[in-house]
Structure formats: C-alpha cells, structure tokens
C-alpha cells in the first residue's frame, strides 16, 4: 500500500548507521559524541526527536538548580544539558558533575557506563510524527524541507527516511533496558497526565541529594512545575537553533504540547498504515500498550 515513492525527500546521509541531514549536523560531531567515554557522574536524557526531550532537560536542570529561572534554549542545548551530537564530546571537559547530556542515539551508540544514569522519554509515534513534521519543515537551513507537505513527511517517517531513522528501531533498542537500575523509562503521555509525579520520579532517580531537598519542600516542587509548564516555557523561551539569516524568522519550538493532536493531521489511511507498521515492528513486545487509553 505504500508503493508510491514520489514524495518529497529530506536530504540525508547515513553516518554510523544514523541518517543525518547533509547540512548543520556533521559526521565529525556525531562520531565525537559516540566516542565520548561516559563516567559515573553523567546523566543522559535519551529520546527519539520530538518526544519531550526539551521538557525533560528543563525538569532535570530545575531539580538540580532548585527552581532557578529558566536558562535560554541555546544555553540549555550547548551548555547546561548539551546536545552531544551537535556539540561533540569536548564540551564534557568544561562541565562540572553531575554532567547532563541530551542524545538521540540508539542504545548501542549511546556512551555507556554502568553507573551513569539514563532518562529515556518515549512518545506515541502519531504525535511524534506531527511534531517532527513541523520541526523538519520549519528548520529550513538544516532540513531543506520547507516545501514538504505532511503527506510527504508521513512517507519519509514511515520509511525511516528522517533524521535518526525509524522511530521504532530507536525505541526497540532501549526497550530491553527500560528496567535496568540506571535507566528511568517514562513517556510524554505519562508526564502530561501527572507532571508532579514526573518531577518526583526524576528527583528520586537522580539520587538522595536531590530527593532529600525536594521531598518536604512543596514550594520548590511547585516552582519547578510552574517553570517547566508548557505555557511558561513557550512564553519565556525562544528557539534560535537553525534560524536562517533573516532574523525575523522565529521558529516556534513550543508548538502545541498536547497528546492526541495527531488526529487533526492524519488521514484514516495514514493512521492505519502507521498502526500496522507499529504492530509489525513491535511484535512480541508490550510497546503498543504504552499508548492504550
Ligand atoms: P509539539 O510539536 O507536539 O507541540 P523535543 O523537545 O523532543 O523536540 O519535543 C518537542 C515537543 O515537546 C513539542 O511537541 C513541544 O511543544 C513539546 N514540549 C516542549 N516543552 C514542553 C512542556 N514543557 N510541556 C509539554 N510539552 C512540551
């Protein structure tokens, strides 16, 4: 049913098995990220793109920094919780523990240390696809997909012809490790349905130093929840990465922040096809149950 292959494509090349855009991201930085030697003091936030990475970056940062005012999006991604495939591993040398990193890498390419911590956020593939479409379309100088339609992107997504490849390959690589003692596995939907639980679970996972500070301090928890609330982040933060030359070109990163918005974008046929792809890819696992309501 997906025989037509005439959709607009995203210019990508494959490096270390990962499809990356032919501009903005480089093979050297990706290789540098992969070759980073993890330490027991590291915390990695791991996601497939558009699954709640930024939200989790700010939650972790807010817990560690006790509800301080939000740093800018750029500082977050290049300084505080650097996006390792974009910055390369050298950044780690200038950081103080706990060293926080964002990666979109599959399990086998993620820098590993048995005592490092890994926070994995999954999101339902339907909302992820819509979010990823908007992201890919808007960041013109990286993806060159400004003329692409949702239908074009859907064909790319279901074929894994997008930045970081197939959604399910990425998720499946982490799935067997979801209960490892140094892995916290959660979903965007879980975070949305109970943000307070998300904050307390992350604080517990980060260790007693953080949990002790937070557990009897309702004001601190409230402050963190207020700061990391979608509307507050949307209001306070600007997304500048990937802007093209003309400065008025603001990229709306904090777009909708909802669960189930895909219904406004998918045709019935697209829903059936992605569902079928999911069932095939995840056969023998409980992955589809993550998103049963
Ligand atoms: P939408 O495009 O559906 O709005 P990532 O950070 O992995 O790129 O994920 C981006 C998605 O997370 C976007 O989804 C964005 O709006 C959403 N998001 C960012 N901050 C959020 C927050 N504080 N609460 C809920 N959703 C958030």
* Cβ of 228 below 6 Å from ligand 1: yes
Rounded CA separation 255/198 (Å)? 21
- The structure tokens 């279901």 sit at 158
Ligand 1 mean position, distance from CA 187 (Å): 12
The best mutation among 45, 55, 59, 86 to test binding of ligand 1, ranked by most ligand atoms within 8 Å of the C-beta, falls on 55
Tell me which residue of 87, 57, 51 sits closest to 70, measured CA to CA: 57
Return the domain boundaries, the chain: 13-291
Which positions are annotated as active-site residues?
A: 104
Q: pLDDT per position in the chain (293 positions), as tens?
A: 556 789 999 999 999 999 999 999 999 999 999 999 999 999 999 999 999 999 999 999 999 999 999 999 999 999 999 999 999 999 999 999 999 999 999 999 999 999 999 999 999 999 999 999 999 999 999 999 999 999 999 999 999 999 999 999 999 999 999 999 999 999 999 999 999 999 999 999 999 999 999 999 999 999 999 999 999 999 999 765 545 544 445 678 899 999 999 999 999 999 999 999 999 999 999 999 999 85
Q: Residue 78 has which token pair?
A: 């290049």
Whether 187 contacts 53, CB under 8 Å: no
Q: How far is the CA of 212 from the centre of ligand 1 (A)?
A: 29
Enter the DSSP assignment of 254: S
Tokens representing 261 are: 């918005």
Question: What ipTM was assigned to the predicted interfaces of this complex?
Answer: 1.00
Strands, DSSP E only, in the chain?
12-15, 18-21, 42-47, 99-103, 117-122, 183-187
Give the atom of ligand 1 at the shortest distance from the alpha carbon of 229: 23
**Global pTM?**
0.96
Choosing among 3.40.50.2300, 3.40.50.1970, 3.40.50.300, 3.30.460.20, the CATH entry for 13-291 is 3.40.50.300
The first and second tokens of residue 224, run together, are 């963190």
How many angstroms does the Cα of residue 51 sit away from the middle of ligand 1?
Answer: 7
In the DSSP assignment, the letter for residue 247 is T
DSSP states of 14-44 as a string? EETTEEEESSSS-HHHHHHHHT----TTEEE
Report the run of H or E that residue 277 belongs to, with start and end.
Answer: helix 268-281
Ligand 1 binding pocket includes 255 (Cβ within 6 Å)? yes
Q: Which atom of ligand 1 is nearest to the CA of 51?
A: 7
């Amino acid at each position: 049913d997906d025989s037509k292959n005439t959709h607009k494509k995203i210019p990508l090349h494959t490096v270390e098995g990962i499809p990356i855009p032919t501009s903005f991201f480089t093979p050297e930085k990706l290789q540098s990220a992969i070759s980073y030697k993890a330490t027991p003091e590291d915390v990695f936030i791991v996601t497939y793109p558009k699954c709640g990475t930024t939200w989790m970056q700010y939650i972790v940062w807010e817990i560690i920094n006790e509800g301080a005012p939000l740093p800018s999006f750029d500082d977050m991604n290049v300084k505080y919780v650097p996006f390792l495939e974009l910055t390369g591993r050298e950044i780690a040398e200038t950081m103080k523990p706990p060293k926080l990193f964002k990666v979109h890498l599959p399990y086998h390419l993620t820098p590993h240390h048995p005592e490092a911590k890994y926070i994995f956020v999954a999101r339902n593939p339907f909302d992820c696809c819509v979010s990823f479409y908007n992201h890919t379309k808007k960041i013109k100088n990286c993806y060159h997909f400004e003329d692409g339609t949702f239908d074009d992107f859907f064909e790319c997504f279901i074929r894994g012809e997008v930045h970081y490849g197939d959604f399910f390959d990425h998720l499946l690589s982490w799935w067997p490790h979801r209960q490892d003692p140094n892995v916290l596995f959660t979903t965007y939907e879980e975070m949305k349905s109970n943000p307070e639980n998300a904050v307390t679970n992350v604080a517990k996972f980060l260790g007693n130093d953080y949990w002790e500070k937070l557990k009897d301090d309702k004001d601190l928890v409230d402050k963190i929840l207020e700061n990391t609330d979608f509307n507050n982040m949307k209001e306070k933060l600007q997304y500048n990465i990937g802007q093209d030359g003309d400065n008025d070109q603001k990229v709306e990163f904090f777009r909708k922040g909802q669960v189930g918005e895909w219904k406004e974008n998918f045709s019935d046929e697209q829903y059936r096809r992605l569902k079928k792809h999911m069932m095939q890819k995840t056969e023998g696992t409980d992955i589809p149950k993550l998103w049963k309501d």
